[in-house]
A and B are shown apart, each in its own frame.
Chain A
Amino acid sequence: MKKLLNRYFGKAWLAVTFLFLYLPLFFMVVFSFNNTRQDAVFTGFSLRWYAALMRDTKIVDGFWLSVQVATAAGVASAVLATFAAFVLVRYRRFAGRTLFSGMVNAPLVMPEVVIGLSLLLLMVGVQNALGWPQRGMLTIVLGHMLLGMAYGTVVVQSRLLEMDRAIEEAAMDLGAKPFQVFFLITLPNILQAVLAAYLLAFTLSFDDVVIAEFLSGPGVNTLPQVIFGYARRGINPTIYAAATLLIASVTLVVITYSVWVARQTRKREREIAAATRAELLALQAQ
């Protein structure tokens, strides 16, 4: 009896919490197809908000800017994160290691407002001294890289830690140079994590409003900034349409990525199994 209660209670709790997590998404998808501006009663199906979305130059321009910023910040963060993770995992002892690891991890806990403000002060200082860079796309990318690198490092670091170093040593024994070992052995092994770091940095950048608000210049607005501006003014179903498109694409990317990971894992397992079998056969043949 108690077990039964426990089981139903568990299922009910899971259901209610998932409902809580998905309610806003569901709400936005439904009301993006509403044919009136109000979002309490569904009055009829229409695509008018999608049409309005396509016509809204601020949103469309913001979207393209965000894509560029997030791509640049994502790539740069993934590269820097790989460097930082490599240093943290492979170089156990060097002067300033504690400071280094502190600086890598600090943006994870630093309030975004503080990151935004301090970077703004730096940019203003540099601009006053050198007349460059103007606040705009470049400064936003730099701000997002700080965040993306911190998160990316955690991902790449954990993959590097579990990687088998014997294969690198084997490559060294066979005469590979260090950079050859890195590009031919290490990088392919951690590629999945580097890609995950890129996706994470891309998402963080694509979603960030605080750092962008601090670092963007006049007339330069990322998609989250445009949405934030609209959102503070009131209900606008155009935003629900944008949200629905975003939810659809994120779902697609996440599913594609997990299928890819599952396939990679299976492929590797098959290769290991095949290699083991071949080894056994060779042993039997002797």
Chain B
Amino acid sequence: MAKLKLTLPGRRFVIGVPSVWLVVFFMLPFLILLYISFVDMGNDISPFKPIWDSETGLLKLKYENYYSIFQSSDGGGLFQTIYIEAYVRSIWYALCTAVLCLVMGYPFSYFIARSAPSLRPALLMMVMLPFWTSFLLRVYAWKGILADQGVLNQTLLALGLITEPIQMLYTDVSMLVGMTYVYLPFMVLPLYANLVKMDIRLLEAAYDLGASPFKAFWLVTVPLSKAGIIAGFMLVFIPCVGEFVIPSLLGGPENIMIGRVVWDEMFTSNNWPRASALAVVMIGLIVVPLAVYYHFTGDPAEARH
């Protein structure tokens, strides 16, 4: 039987097209980013200086871009910089969001997976539908809902539950509501995919052996869905760390995350080398949890869909 085997030029073409594209538009930009993170800040016309000294022609790496992230020049202690604060805050929000998504999404995915098989595609479609409409607009809607004079406060006032509006917008509340809202489907989809495959007979066996429903759930269902939990957690945590739009719309000045800081360094302070260094450190923040994730499961791309 003939094997589908392209001739050598054909094979080269098929591999070459996406490879060249990725090298030019993914690898090269990253190398430039890395390069600029090690050079001196320039002037208005050319925002960064070349990496070699113009007189001696020697290579000079400027590590200060990285030092200044961890230690401020005006005498603050180690790790007491606005950058470290922004990194820590980003990780904190991402963790809180992932936990909230898990708490809300686990029972949700569980009950979808246990609903009638004929109902499941429709329910999943209902999860995906808001996901396909503009993320920006859905975040913006929360601004109207959570505002001091917004629907939620007005409703609570009308019901007599509160006597004056609570400030929810531009606080941790609005940040976490917005992030949980946007990232919930990322938690639900891998969890559902995992829970729907579970062998119900294992639960029946647990019941037969005298386990209470809660105990059976805790000792059988939860451990079996570990891979789904980890996948969902990562799919929420990783994009949350770099979130830019939600803190811009729903957060206050105290809720600035690292994505915004990179932006401000780039366009407000015009400090390209520091913006690049911050971005490189940010990649590090993503790679570490990802390595842990790889350790537990296989390919992250496969869990995503």
Say whether, besides A22-B130, A27-B151, A254-B132, A110 and B7 are in contact (CB < 8 Å): no
Interface assignment of A6: CB less than 8 Å from any CB of chain B:
yes
Stretch of A45-53, A54-62, A242-250, A271-279 lying at the B interface = A242-250
A-side contacts of B275, CB under 8 Å: 117
Instruction: Report yes or no: A224 in contact with B26, Cβ–Cβ below 8 A.
Output: no
Q: In the complex, which of the residues B1, B105, B137, B153 has the most CB atoms of chain A within 10 Å of its own CB atom? A: B137
In-complex Cβ contact of A122 among B11, B28, B127, B276 (8 A): B28
Q: In the complex, which of the residues A108, A121, A146, A172 has the most CB atoms of chain B within 10 Å of its own CB atom? A: A121
A-side contacts of B125, CB under 8 Å: 254, 258
Residues of A within 8 A of B (CB): 2, 6, 10-11, 13-14, 17-18, 20-25, 27-28, 31, 38-41, 80, 83-84, 86-87, 90-91, 94, 96, 100, 103-114, 117-122, 125, 142, 145-146, 149, 153-155, 157-158, 165, 168-169, 172-173, 178-179, 181, 203, 206-207, 209-210, 213, 224, 227-228, 231-232, 235, 239-240, 242-243, 246-247, 250-251, 254, 258
A84 and B301 alpha carbons, distance in the complex (Å): 14
Chain B positions 1-38 with a Cβ under 8 Å from a chain A Cβ: 1-7, 10-11, 14-15, 17-19, 21-23, 25-30, 32-33, 36
Instruction: Report yes or no: B32 in contact with A118, Cβ–Cβ below 8 A.
Output: yes
Instruction: Report yes or no: A117 in contact with B262, Cβ–Cβ below 8 A.
Output: yes
Instruction: Report yes or no: B241 in contact with A242, Cβ–Cβ below 8 A.
Output: no
Q: What is the distance, in angstroms, from B21's C-beta to the closest C-beta of chain A?
A: 6
A123 and B129 alpha carbons, distance in the complex (Å): 35
Chain B positions 179-204 with a Cβ under 8 Å from a chain A Cβ: 181, 184
Chain B positions 242-278 with a Cβ under 8 Å from a chain A Cβ: 242, 244-245, 248-249, 259, 262-263, 266, 272, 275-276
Q: What is the distance, in angstroms, from A132's C-beta to the closest C-beta of chain B?
A: 15
Can you list 11 A-B contacts with CB-CB less than 8 angstroms, sorted by A residue number?
A: A6-B213, A13-B111, A24-B141, A25-B130, A27-B145, A110-B283, A114-B242, A120-B266, A154-B304, A206-B134, A231-B139
A106 and B302 alpha carbons, distance in the complex (Å): 13
Instruction: Report yes or no: B149 in contact with A24, Cβ–Cβ below 8 A.
Output: no
B-side contacts of A169, CB under 8 Å: 1-4
Q: Is the interface of B mostly helix, strand, loop or mixed?
A: helix
Interface assignment of B144: CB less than 8 Å from any CB of chain A:
yes
Q: In the complex, which of the residues A39, A118, A228, A258 has the most CB atoms of chain B within 10 Å of its own CB atom? A: A118
